A and B are shown apart, each in its own frame.
Chain A
């Protein structure tokens, strides 16, 4: 018995010392060889899925999974250009009030219901009707009438011109579900998705996995090329990366920025890093002192080294932001970056009457990246004697103190650090909610710099009143120039999409809006 104690004690010491010593090896990325023999793919994602009804979803992740089963009339390609999907072709009138789609013929939903103009009408009438209480109602709320011209041709008439409508149709929320399923399941279609996509729904256990299988009847010849795809929510970054290393997952996203270097180039693993449409900025409350002074705003922009910001905060996985929207957003127009010039910044502050600097606060989310970003700003602005207090907040508090403020004069916010992803890929959704004048002030929308410039407001309105891309581009050109020069934000970065995969995976990629496309996924021999 005594000997047993001794042995046991030794064993424990051994285990603990093993655990203690192995700590240093965390940075070393060991990669298991994987022999892929089947055609099943496992994809590890960063959050739990919320629902499979595209009309009632507002997270990109759930949208991505929906897109494997449910398709829209139009969609996005790798660069967020609008491409035909279930529609063969489309046209609109010059005033952007009428949109006509010619539909592909001979397509069936997974339950055998034929896809036709009637199905399109049923879907958009469902999402656009406020009485249905669906989360994406506002995207399609301005659809006035839907006219079935023939079995395979359908015309939408809007109650007012909306130049960005085509992109709105391409948004995942415009997914067409089987009318039979909509009738049978009602709101429960969120758990019984039936579309026309390359994969059919099999099973979903919210905290464990969602499984889809090959749609043998898919309209795109030769696809899909795998039999089964399983999505697994793995929220912890380290665990998600480990799944790729062990081969338990074939594809993971996002790869945490701090792990990219350790994984990239390791035998059998590829990390894809591509520009996204997500912009990172620090908005300045232009109604409040000292940010109501354009010289102060310019000085703040000059005082921050954006390259260093990208290196320190985002581990290099980002690019310097050079307009109010990212390059992959439609009608983007490059502006001249402010550069990094502490002396000039000090000079400007002096001219503005803040020679000895000032004290202010930056608000933002409480994720470790947001906190790091705000601390970086704090350190940078200290160079021009601006003392920045960092105040990370939890989402509910942010919502109370920033987004729900009724009266602009009551807004306490000075600097807010945040990001924005215009999910329709159109300049309108990248610009209007953030700097679209009074109409976009909280609580209506997200103009937390309380910025209003008549030229910008007029440009935003003009661009919506036409479907002509040249006219729209011209309007957005002025909007971007004006906003850039007025600097309602400290312009920081556009992030990158980061996907990690086994080297035998092809045809799976992230779009600039961070949504996933796996229609063409295949396992290479």
Chain B
């Protein structure tokens, strides 16, 4: 198993290298002249040329790539065109807010999603199932910006229980994490339900029931554990997506996270920041995939890594 992981980690290096080339080319191919956008809406051509030179955007693309890679190997992500602060600082300041919001959203979403899923699967086609799945479909269909604004209106403006935005205390996490987690909870519930229903049809479950194992024990210990494999894969992917930062939620709740930074940077053609964010997203997915692989082994010891 250790060998497997070392191999997987070594594989990351060429993957990342290819990723950098693609990211660099892709980012520089978006239409729009960065110097013009940086120089501002009423800049004169003089200003624009000055900015272009100052930012090194007048050099040929391959030269720009070489200096970008040179910096990257030394751990230097470059300097933001917009704020002229080091990219590592820009991103560093925003990573943790996104990370913690993601973690809290995932924690409650997975808990609630699992419960709904299990209840629905065991009470199939009875009213708890209908209610659960109605809730799940609603959760999936609600546009998150709408849900966010409605939550602000009820819990911040009318009831005054939570702040309407920003990141100040634990209270600031409640509304955005509910908004962010609703969709995930819904997906987890549906996955758990269908996966658990499949597992419950298996012979070993019937055997268990035949020998008189109590139903709670069958569902929660024997069936659920096996049913979780696809749920874990999906949860891992969701986690990866959320870690990229949700533009909508971060905008609605003025959350100082990565998603908003990315959108701002794209609008501004802030190449170094876009590149660094994409690189981090790629890295996050690689790491999450590793972790998911590891979890498979724990859930189902029959899965081997050779």
Task: Name A residues whose Cβ lies closer than 8 Å to a Cβ of B.
Answer: 1, 5-6, 8-10, 12-13, 16, 18-20, 22-23, 25-26, 30, 32, 48, 50-51, 56, 58-59, 130, 133-138, 141, 187, 190-191, 205-208, 232-236, 238-239, 242-243, 245-246, 248, 394-397, 399-400, 403-404, 420-421, 423, 429, 433, 443-446
Q: How far is the CA of A32 from the CA of B158 in the complex (A)?
A: 8
A403-B36, A443-B48 are known; give 11 further A-B pairs, CB within 8 A.
A8-B115, A58-B43, A133-B53, A134-B50, A135-B40, A206-B90, A232-B166, A238-B149, A239-B165, A246-B163, A397-B32
Q: Are B157 and A32 in contact (CB under 8 A)?
A: yes
Whether A238 lies near B131 (C-beta < 8 A) is no
The answer, among A58, A133, A236, A420, for a CB contact under 8 Å with B50, is: A133
Cβ distance B290 to chain A, nearest Cβ, rounded Å: 30
Question: Of residues 233 to 271 in B, which have CB atoms within 8 Å of A's CB atoms?
Answer: 251-254, 256-257, 260-261, 264, 267, 269
Distance between Cα atoms of A108 and B260 in the complex (Å): 39
Closest to B185 in A: A12
Point out the residues of chain A lying under 8 angstroms from B90, CB to CB: 206
**Which 5 pairs show the lowest CB-CB distances between chains A and B?**
A396-B32, A58-B40, A207-B256, A133-B54, A242-B164
User: Does the CB pair A242–B138 fall under 8 Å?
Assistant: no
B residues with a Cβ closer than 8 A to A are 30-33, 36-48, 50-51, 53-54, 82-85, 90, 93-94, 115-116, 119, 123, 127-128, 131-132, 134-135, 138-139, 142, 146-147, 149-154, 156-158, 160, 163-167, 216, 251-254, 256-257, 260-261, 264, 267, 269
Q: For residue B129, which residue of chain A has the nearest CB? A: A9
Q: Is the CB of A395 within 8 A of B264?
A: no
Chain B neighbourhood of A397, CB < 8 A: 31-32
Asked whether, in the complex, the Cβ of A395 is within 8 Å of the Cβ of B37, the reply is: yes
The answer, among A10, A138, A141, A396, for a CB contact under 8 Å with B33, is A396
CB closest chain-A residue, reference B130: A9
Say whether B153 contacts A26, CB under 8 Å.
yes
B38 to chain A: which residues have CB within 8 Å?
135
CB-based contact B39/A232 at 8 Å? no
The answer to whether A138 and B47 touch across the interface, beta carbons within 8 angstroms, is yes
On chain A, the residues within 8 Å of B153 by CB distance are 22, 25-26, 30, 242
How many whole Å from A384's CB to the nearest CB in chain B? 32
Shortest Cβ distance from residue A347 to the other chain B in the assembled complex, whole angstroms = 38
Question: Known contacts being A242-B165, A395-B267, A403-B36, is A133 close to B31, with CB within 8 Å?
Answer: no
- Known A236-B251, A239-B253; contact A396-B37, beta-carbon cutoff 8 A: yes
Query: Given that A1-B216, A135-B43, A248-B163 are contacting pairs, would A400 and B152 also be in contact in the complex, using a CB cutoff of 8 Å?
Result: no
Partner of A400, one of B31, B134, B256: B31
Contacts A133-B54, A138-B47, A242-B157; A206 near B93 (Cβ below 8 A) = yes
Partner of B119, one of A5, A13, A141, A420: A5
Question: Once the chains bind, are A208 and B167 in contact (CB under 8 Å)?
Answer: yes
Give Cα A395–Cα B123 distance, bound, in whole angstroms: 53
Write the nearest CB–CB distance from A129 to chain B, whole angstroms: 11
Closest to B149 in A: A238
A-B contact pairs, 8 of them (CB 8 A): A5-B119, A6-B128, A18-B154, A138-B44, A207-B261, A236-B251, A248-B163, A248-B164
Knowing A51-B83, A397-B32, the reply to whether A443 touches B45 (Cβ < 8 A) is: yes
Residue in B closest to A191 when the chains form the complex, CB atoms: B85
Residues of chain A contacted by B264 (CB below 8 angstroms): 48
Write the nearest CB–CB distance from B306 to chain A, whole angstroms: 41
| Contact of B93 (CB < 8 Å), options: A50, A205, A246, A443 | A205
Contact B54 A30 (CB under 8 A): no
In the bound complex, residues from chain A placing their C-beta under 8 Å from that of B123 are: 5
Least distance between B167 CB and chain A CB atoms (Å): 7
A158 shortest CB reach to chain B, Å: 16
Chain A: CB-nearest residue to B220:
A1
In the complex, chain B residues whose CB is within 8 Å of the CB of A10: 131
Nearest A residue to B55 by beta-carbon distance? A133
Once the chains are docked, how many angstroms separate the CA of A22 from the CA of B134? 18
B51 shortest CB reach to chain A, Å: 7
In the complex where A6-B128, A141-B46 touch, is A399 in contact with B32 (Cβ < 8 A)?
A: yes
Residue of B nearest to A26 (CB): B153
**B residues within 8 A CB of A8?**
115, 119
Contact A445-B45, Cβ < 8 Å, known A135-B39, A238-B152, A396-B31: yes
Contacting residues, chain B, for A395 (C-beta < 8 A): 32, 37, 267
Interchain CB contact under 8 A, A404 and B33: yes
Contact of B150 among A9, A26, A32, A233 (CB under 8 A): A26
B116's nearest neighbour on chain A, judged by CB, is A12
Is there contact, CB below 8 Å, between B83 and A206? yes
Assess the A58–B267 pair: CB atoms within 8 A.
no
A433 to B45, CA, bound (A): 11
CA of A410 to CA of B20, assembled, Å: 36
Which residue from B44, B128, B158, B254 sits with its C-beta under 8 Å from A236? B254
Least distance between B130 CB and chain A CB atoms (Å): 9
Which of A12, A16, A234, A445 counts the most chain B CB atoms within 10 A? A12
Query: Given A137-B47, A207-B94, A396-B31, A238–B252 Cβ distance below 8 Å?
Result: yes
Given A239-B152, A246-B156, A396-B269, are A135 and B256 also a contact pair (CB < 8 Å)? no
Cβ contacts under 8 Å, A19 to chain B = 142, 147, 150-151, 154
Instruction: Tell me which residues across on chain B come within 8 A of A206, comparing CB atoms.
Output: 83, 85, 90, 93
Let me know if A208 and B256 touch, CB within 8 A: yes
Q: How far is the CB of B126 from chain A (nearest CB, A)?
A: 10
Determine the distance from Cα of A395 to Cα of B38 in the docked complex, in whole angstroms: 12
Check if B51 sits within 8 Å of A133, measured CB to CB. Answer: yes
A138 touches B36 (CB 8 A): no
Return chain B residues, CB-CB under 8 Å to A22.
150, 153-154
Partner of B46, one of A50, A138, A396: A138
Q: How far is the CB of B185 from chain A (nearest CB, A)?
A: 10
- Asked if residues B40 and A399 are in contact (CB atoms below 8 Å), the reply is no
User: Which of A19, A32, A397, A444 has most chain B Cβ within 10 Å?
Assistant: A19
Residues of A within 8 A of B166 (CB): 208, 232, 248
- B45, B51, B134, B158: the one within 8 Å of A135 (CB): B51
What's the nearest-Cβ distance from chain B to residue A451, in Å?
A: 18
- Residues from chain B with Cβ under 8 Å of A59 in the complex: 40
B119 contacts which chain A residues (CB < 8 A)? 5, 8-9
| Complex: A206 Cα to B147 Cα, angstroms | 27
| Closest chain B CB from A227 CB (angstroms) | 19
In the complex, A245→B116 CA distance in Å?
36
CA distance A12 to B36 in the complex (A): 51
Contact in complex: B138, A16 (CB < 8 Å): yes
